[in-house]
Each structure stands twice: as structure tokens, then as C-alpha cells.
Chains A and B, each alone.
Chain A
Amino acid sequence: MTIIGIDLGTTNSACGFWRDGEVELIPNRSGDYLTPSVVGLDGDNNVIVGKVAKNRLITHPDNTVGVFKRLMGTNHQVSLGKKRFTATELSAFVLKALKEDAEAHLGEEVTEAIISVPAYFNDNQRHATKQAGEIAGLTVRRLINEPTAAALAYGLHERAEGMFVVLDMGGGTFDVSILEYFDGIMEVHASAGDNFLGGEDFLEAMVGSFCKAVGIDKDTLGKSELQQLYDRLEHIKRKIHTQDSMLLEMDLGGKAVRFEATPEWFKECTQPQLMRVRHPIEQALRDASLRVPDVTEVLLVGGATRMPVFRNMVGTLFKRIPAGHLDPDLVVAMGAAVQAGLKARDKTLDDVVLTDVCPYTLGTEVVDPSGSGKAGFFLPLIERNSVVPTSHVETLATVVKNQRRMEVNVFQGEHRLVEQNIFLGSVAVTVPKGPAGEQTIDVRYSYDMNGLLEVDVKINSTGQVINHVIEQSPGSLTQEEIEKSRARLAGLKFHPREKEENLILISRAEKLYLTSLGERRTQIGRYLAEFESVLDSQKESDIAKAREQFSEALDQLDPGSML
């Protein structure tokens, strides 16, 4: 039984596995290693994931959704047509697509996986990710932190020893991890991050600045127009540093818009985002008590780290040129695959051990320890950056006479008042009556290798133990709800794999049709109609031939967009 390693990203996902002493990445149904994390439904309620869905984000914005990783760990839902989905369910679709790709590649059933999560994901978000795996039919053997995975892949690849700073900026999150690699030991010293800073935020800043410059209210734009604008600006974001200026011409809100984008403009409008990069870096360095000159190497992970403005900033901060020997888009998936090999106790990885830390402080709400009687004070149980797995017990007592209920509110954060921290859940217990302070409970926090928290409460006078539970967790599902989601999603079918190539072409042509004008548009329409009529004939040889011609024709009309 093979365990696969999955990088479930905000914009792109990828998967791989460990075989014969090295990482093997798994191509998806369209032959790429990267699968866009975009999910859509077509007219017959078939699920579409990946490249086709990404194209349909422009042509069918109501039935397609991307960047939903941002919603992980919340109860928010997104409507696709008439159906509503949570981020957990949408992620399950992506995982299911990856699972099928892996099964096709390996020729056997795949039921176990390692999934990577941003290091700074909180308990709710981690639970949601694990549950997405369960809904997709995968037992999640381990959640691995993305920067840790990247360092694992890099460390094994280069076999270089020393202190590494991993900067992982993907589509939606930014993580900083400080690791030491020696004698096969990969030890994480500190992690910090920002869950709302990524390539998408830079893009959002560009869109905002663009709309302001051309005098358009972003909210008045149609969904399809808006997605086109995102698409065009994304293209500019990737290319701008190689050119003096790029021209953006398109019809928006009924008027023709012309905008000249320059590298200076890009730098100016994304500076606020860039400034936010420093804070987590400084925090991680401080937590690891590491000085800049002691850093052996700075590793860049994630597509957004390709931006030259980011590289410059990192370069000046660390006074060195950051390393990027491995593809920043795939290195997390490679690391997850290494972890899969570790988990399976692969012989070739016998001398590798990974130790990680808990990136934030976990604690509970208590009454002011200095005796003012006010509630709402934070008592840390597991300190930030303590090595995991770890557990800690604290004894808490009743504060009023004959108190019956004691509520253990679980919080994550660094502030001494709980209201400034993130609420994770609560456990309520009933204790026997008695004078204030006589009844005590032992609260044990156990933080495991997956970054998941377990809270046990023991009532000392009766010996009763209440465990597992974070019952009231905001984004978490019960086992019952997982089953329900799974049954619901099972009712939706994926497109048959063999039709994938045709679908990619059609979605690409439809997108082109929408974004082109005049003669070009008519021509695309004609090609599209021809191809569809050949498809209707259902003759395999004709279809293959038509597909080739169609693809070539599209390449000629639109040479730049093969991402």
C-alpha cells in the first residue's frame, strides 16, 4: 500500500510518493504536476477540478470557485449554482481528483495520504484539512507543515548541513520556519507566519490600484469581467519585471479601458503587502534566537516567492542571495512525499528524523492570577515553538462557593487576555459542590505531530475523565457530519478521465472566445463549433485528429497562455 504526499495549496495542488529512494511526482489527468485548486460544476452536476475549472472560472464564474483554502476552518459556504459547499468539501474534491490521478499512475488503490498545511494554520484549519481528506476517502496519516516539508525535500536533495530559513509564500499564506539540519536530523526551531498574505493578496492590491487608476468601481463589474481582469493582471504580475511596461486593454463595465502597467507601478501598489513579510521573519528569528549572520541558507518556497520585489526584500534583510534550486511550486509536494516514505518506514530513509514545533501558544481562560477577580486571562499551557509531540497538565480550581460548572475554554495566541486570542473550543464539566478552591480539575493539553490539539479534563475529587473533545470548535465537523458530506459528494460524479483533453481544449477555447474581439472571436467560434460536431460523431480516430488541429489553431491564436 502506497502512502501519497499531497500539497493542498491555495492556488495549486500537487502530489507525489516515495519510491526506490527518491521522490516521484504524479502527473494529473492533463499530464501536469500542478493541479489548479479550482472546483466547478457543469450543467449535469459533474464535478470539474483543475485546469478545466480554472478556465471555466472566467466563462462560468457562478459555477466555479477558487482560493477557497482561505475559508478552511470556518462555517462559511460557497454556492456553486444552487448547491452549497463548505471549504472542507471543496478541498475534498481536489483531494479526490489527486487521489484518482495517483491511482491511475500507480495502478492500485490509494487510501492513505500525508497532507501539507501552512505552518501557521490553527487547530480548526488543521482539523478541517484532515476532514477534507476523510471525505475524499483518504486516511490522513500525518499533516506536515509546508515549510518543514520543503526543507525536508531540500535537505535530502542537497545534503547540506546548517541553519536554514524557509520562506514559504504561496497563493494565500506566508510561513517562516527556521530549521537546523545535521546528521540526518531535521529540527525545526521556530515557525511564524501570516495566514492572509500570499500571491492572491498582491493580485488583489493590483486590482484595487488598477480600478482606482481607471476610475471603475470594482463592485459594479460583472463576475466574468472581474475574473478576466484577475487573469490579465495575474499575467502582468508574472511578467512585469522582465519588461519596461505592459499594456492592458480590455472592455470593462461597458467602456474600453487602456492601462499601462510598469514595474514601478507594481512596486508601489504592492508595497503594503511586501511590508507585512518582515514581521513574521523577525518573530521567527527572535524565537529561534538566531542572528542573521548565523543563517546558512535562505530557501524560497511557493510561487509568490518568484516575484523579484520579494527576492530583493529578502536579499536585503538577510544580506545574501536566497537559494532556489528546486522548483518552488513543487518542493512542498516533494517534501510531503518524503514524509510519506518516512511514515511507511522506508528503508532508504532510515537515517532521517524530523522534529517539528507548535507555532503558537495554546492555553486556557482563567480568572486573574493576581487576584482582581476578573475573568478573561490567558493561561498558557503549551508555549509557542515547543517541540512536538508535547503535553502539559495544569490544575485549575473553582473560584466561587458551590460552583458546579467549570468551563475550559481553549484559546490560541500570545496575548495575556483571551479576547485578543483565537477561540478554538470549549469543554464544560460538572464538578461536585464545595467551598471555593476545593474542587480542582486537571486540564491536560496534548499537541501531536499533526499539530492537532487534544484536551483532557480530569475531575480530581471523582476521578472522572472527560477526553477527546473540542466539542464547540467553530469549524469542525462531527463524525456524523463527515459521513453526510461524504454521501452528498458521492452523489456528484467526476468527469471521465479520457475526456479530459477535449474538455481542456473546449474550456480554453471558450475562455479565449470571451476575451477576444472581432475577427479572432468569430474564428474561435467556428473552430469550437467544428470540434464539437466532431465530438458528437463519437469516432475516436476523427476526434484525435480534430483535437490536434484544434490545439494547434488555439496555440497560434493565443501563444502566451499555456501556463
Chain B
Amino acid sequence: MTFPWSRLGIEPTENKRDIKKAYARKLKETRPDEHPEAFKQLHDAYKRALWLAEHSRTVEDECGWEALDDDDDDEAAEPAPEVERLEVDLATEVAPATPETPDLENLKPEPHAAPDEQPTIDEAAAATLMEQVNALLSATPDLHLSSKWRFIEAEPHMLDEDFRKEVGERLLARILKHQLTQKNPKGEYGHRKLGDNILAYLNTQFGWSFRFHDLLNRFDYSEIAFLKDLPAAPLHSKADGFGVKGGSKLHKRKPRDPKRPQAGPVYPFYRLVAMAIDLAIVTIPLIIFAKLYGLEAHVKHADIAFIAYLAMTPFFEASKWRATIGKRILGLKALTLDLQPLNFWQALMRSLMLGASIWWLQWINHLWGEPVSDFAAVIWPFIITSWIAGGRYPHDLLSFSLVLNYGRTR
């Protein structure tokens, strides 16, 4: 015996009842929560066996699959293969016993409504509805507002299935015509072309995309192919404060925007600005303090400000901000290599390494007879390192940390 029959433990059969029985028996030994892998195999075998039984192919036959692929050539033209494959698989289950004939008539989901049988609907109501639609289609900008289309869901006849189906087709024809008139010879669309939001709304009301194969009786594939690409239905009630009752206040917090990158690299220049802001913040009180007490002559402001900066940094970087004030303003954050928050000792390490690298660079600078300015001596190695190391400074490398941009830029 071969797969799937071996897995189900039965002889190849066309009897679905037997397949189900075998599956049920095996499933009780292979519960999905206890043996997930084995369950998946068993389930695959079950589905495959059912398919084979349905198509009278109790022996594995490759051409069966190929024939099915040909069968759905209209769908093969679609650009999104992943989604389409699912639909092909589903189609195999409803497909009639002769899948070789690419006959779309047989794929119709609702057999009870024969195409030639004209359902009796309230023509007056349908005419009124179409008139309203016609009026709306010539009214700019109203035709782009989904609220203006809401009269459709308030039409009592819409609860009648036949009415909805028939008027839905008429409306679709009307809309396709409208869209065509908006197309100029160059293939560009005018300002009255209906957008996806309106089409999606109408689709939820009339269920066009669910009746796709039905619609092919009346429309050309290329005309209605757009139905497959419509966005999900707009959820109107989401806007109304969610319908929460009571409470003194609802505090809405924005979810993180997925389109905005969570973090990006930092340009070397950015971090210098952040540091300048920090240094200014520590220097200004220092100057005022020195002025007040007349200590100006004794103190080198730059050194003390820098030491104060180094001392302050770990507290800030290990805090909830993950950043000094300057970094915070620019939206930067200091993190470990795994993008985890720094603890205090890691933050202290960063600050010590910054002090050490600057002190060392200055020392090298003074080995020369005539040193360049301290600032230039320090700044160039920092910029070069960050160029090579993808935005990281020497002390980032030495302390195994990094700084990322969580701000609005980029």
C-alpha cells in the first residue's frame, strides 16, 4: 500500500464513509494536541484519500493533477500565485467528476438558480435604486464618499436574495460602464473613477467576489478580475469609540505603525548633534556656577563638562528612555546587540569606553610635536570607524552595544 492508504491503514477504496471511519480510528490515537506532526501527516493523508475517492482515482496518477491545473487557466493568469493556489485546491473539492473539461458552468457554487430562469424581483424598487446610483455617479465628489452609498444597505428589498443577486449584476454592469467612460484613450483614468473603498463596500453588499464564477456568465474575465484584488471590507463601527459603555474616559493609544520602520541606522552626524545637545545641557549650569563663584580662571570648562556628561550618561541610558536627553530629542536609543535594553553596568561600560577612547586619541595626538586641535584629532577616527562599522562608534564596538534611530526620520 502507498500513501495515503498506508497512513490510514486501509486498502484503496472509493467509499468515503470507509475513509472517514479509518481516519476517525487513527485520529483517536493521534490527537492533534499530543502528536502535532503525526496528526498533520494523517490529516494530509485523509484529505488526499477523499480527493482520490471523489475523482475515482484510487491509484496515484500524476496526470490527474496536471489536468486540474489546465482546468483553471483563467486563474493561472493571476499575479499572486500563493493565494491562487489555495483556490485551485479548493476548487478540486467541488470540481465535478470530469475535471478535464474546462467548463465554468459546472463550477457554479449555487446550483438551485439556473441561469435562464429569470427570478421575479420588484422592478420598481430596482429601478429606483439604479436611478439613485446613476444620480450619484454623476455627482462629484459625492461618488467617492462611502457614506453616500449607504442607501443601498437601507433598501429593504436588499434582504431578498434574488433582488440582491439581480440588482447586483445590473449595478456591476453600470459601474463597469462608468469606469470605462472615465478611461481616456491613453488608458488614464479621470477623477470620477471609483476607488477601491467604494468598490469594496459594494462588494460586501452584493457579494460579487463570492459569485465570481456565476458572474462570468455575464461578464468578461478581464472586466471583473479586479474583484479578486479588493481590500477587506471597511469596518465602520470601529470608529465609534468601540461601543464601550461607561467609564469616565477612554484613553486611545495609537498602535505602532507597521509602515514606519521600528528602528533604523544612525548617521554619524546625528550622534554628534545629540552629544552637542547633551554637552550644552551640562555646560550651561557649569558656566553659571563658575561665574557666580568666580572660579573661571581655575577651571577648564570643557573637561569638567565632558566628565559630567560621562557620569550622567549611564543613568540615562539604563533608564526607561534608553537614551540621554540629546538622543531622546533626536529619537535615538542605545541598546545591546540583541536590541535589548542596557542594564546599568552595560551603560556604564559604554560611557567608560567613550572616555577611554577619547583620552587615548588625545594622548596619541600629543605624541606628535605639534598636535592638531583635540577636537579634530578625536572627531576623524570616530567618523571613520562609524563609516566602516555601519554607523557604530569605537565605544559602541568596545562595549558591545549599538545606537539605533527610532525617530521619524529616514
Contact = CB atoms under 8 A, between A and B. Distances in A.
B96 interface: no
B119 interface: no
Contact of A423 (B86, B242, B258): B258
Interface string B246-273: 1111111111101101110000000000
Given A389-B33, A414-B83, 9 more contacts: A74-B255, A78-B247, A196-B235, A289-B94, A353-B27, A387-B40, A387-B43, A414-B232, A426-B262
A259 interface: no
Contacts of B20: 182-183, 185
Interface string B207-246: 1001000000000000000000101110111101011111
Contact of A404 (B249, B254, B390): B390
Contact of A76 (B110, B251, B390): B251
B240 A272 contact: no
A177 interface: no
B396 to A, nearest CB: 14
B410 interface: no
A64 B161 contact: no
B111 interface: yes
B237 A196 contact: yes
A525 interface: no
A65 B27 contact: no
A101 B27 CA distance: 36
Given A62-B248, A380-B82, A182 B233 contact: no
A66 B40 contact: no
Interface stretch (A19-27, A102-110, A273-281, A454-462): A273-281
Interface of A: 38, 40, 57, 61-68, 70-71, 74-81, 84, 142, 172, 182-185, 194-197, 200-201, 204, 223, 227, 230, 267-268, 271-272, 274-276, 278-279, 282-283, 285-287, 289, 291-293, 313, 316-317, 350-351, 353-355, 361, 363, 369-370, 379-380, 383-384, 387-390, 404, 407, 409, 411, 413-416, 418-420, 423, 426, 428, 430, 448-449, 472, 474-475
Nearest to B337: A430
Contacts of B79: 370, 416
A549 B93 CA distance: 66
Contact of B111 (A67, A291, A449): A291
Contact of A271 (B156, B237, B238, B249): B156
A65 B250 CA distance: 10
B170 interface: no
A379 B81 CA distance: 10
A230 B245 contact: yes
Given A65-B245, A172-B243, A272-B154, A279 B207 contact: yes
Contacts of A62: 246-248
B207 A282 contact: yes
Give the residue among B80, B111, B150, B247 with the most A Cβ atoms within 10 A.
B247
Contact of A64 (B246, B249, B256): B246
Contacts of B251: 76-79, 84
B249 A79 contact: yes
16 contacts: A65-B247, A66-B245, A183-B25, A184-B28, A196-B235, A196-B236, A204-B243, A227-B246, A275-B205, A279-B204, A287-B90, A355-B27, A383-B82, A414-B232, A416-B83, A426-B258
Contact of B24 (A172, A183, A313, A383): A183
A351 B25 CA distance: 9
Given A317-B161, A419-B259, A426-B262, A77 B24 contact: no
Nearest to B203: A279
Interface of B: 20-21, 23-25, 27-28, 31-33, 36, 39-40, 43, 79-83, 86, 90-91, 93-94, 109-112, 150, 153-154, 156, 158-161, 204-205, 207, 210, 229, 231-233, 235-238, 240, 242-256, 258-259, 261-263, 337, 339, 390
A313 B248 contact: no
B248 A81 contact: yes
B148 to A, nearest CB: 14
A423 B112 CA distance: 40
A479 B113 CA distance: 56
A407 B264 CA distance: 11
Contact of A384 (B86, B207, B243): B86
A414 B80 CA distance: 11
Given A271-B156, A389-B40, A292 B247 contact: no
A175 to B, nearest CB: 15
Contacts of A355: 27, 32, 39, 43
A539 B210 CA distance: 68
A524 B107 CA distance: 67
A424 B236 CA distance: 21
B381 to A, nearest CB: 22
A283 B253 contact: no
B244 A379 contact: no
B246 A76 contact: no
A353 B245 contact: no
A276 B244 CA distance: 21
Contacts of A293: 111-112
Contacts of B337: 430
A45 to B, nearest CB: 14
Given A201-B237, A204-B237, A292 B244 contact: no
A79 B232 contact: no
A197 B337 CA distance: 45
A379 B82 contact: yes
Contacts of A40: 246
Nearest to B28: A353
B258 A353 contact: no
A390 B37 CA distance: 8
A81 B82 CA distance: 51
B97 to A, nearest CB: 15
A80 B248 contact: yes
A272 B153 contact: yes
A61 B246 contact: yes
A185 B245 contact: no
Contacts of B32: 353-355, 387-389, 449
Nearest to B233: A279
B118 to A, nearest CB: 19
A308 to B, nearest CB: 13
A389 B30 CA distance: 12
Given A183-B20, A355-B43, A70 B159 contact: no
A75 B247 contact: no
B80 to A, nearest CB: 4
Nearest to A352: B28
